[in-house]
Amino acid sequence: MKKLILVLSTLALLNGCEDEVGTQGWCETMDATPKSEWTAQGTLDYAKHCFLSDAVGSPGWCESLEAKPKGDWSANEATSYAKHCVF
């Protein structure tokens, strides 16, 4: 039982180390990954966050969000702003 808890805890910690989809680090990881290994969702996310607009947390993304009225921010945008632009 203890081994199972240890394995599950380790997996949860390792999963938490992955870059958030749309961040600059995630975009760089996708650039380094062969296109043949991309999933359909990964391709769509890459196009949306890395190609068509600034990556989440990039200076341009932070500036464009600052220009947007705070009442129009989604919960994800507010969380990402606090995580990447403030800290």
- SS3 of 30-45: HHHCCHHHCCHHHHHH
Average pLDDT of span 10-32: 76
Decide if pLDDT at 4 tops 70: no
Chain centroid to CA 9: 22
Average pLDDT over residues 82-87: 86
Q: How far apart are CA 52 and CA 28, in angstroms?
A: 15
Cα of 67 vs its chain's centroid, Å: 21
Model confidence over 33-58: pLDDT tens digits? 999 999 999 999 999 888 888 888 88
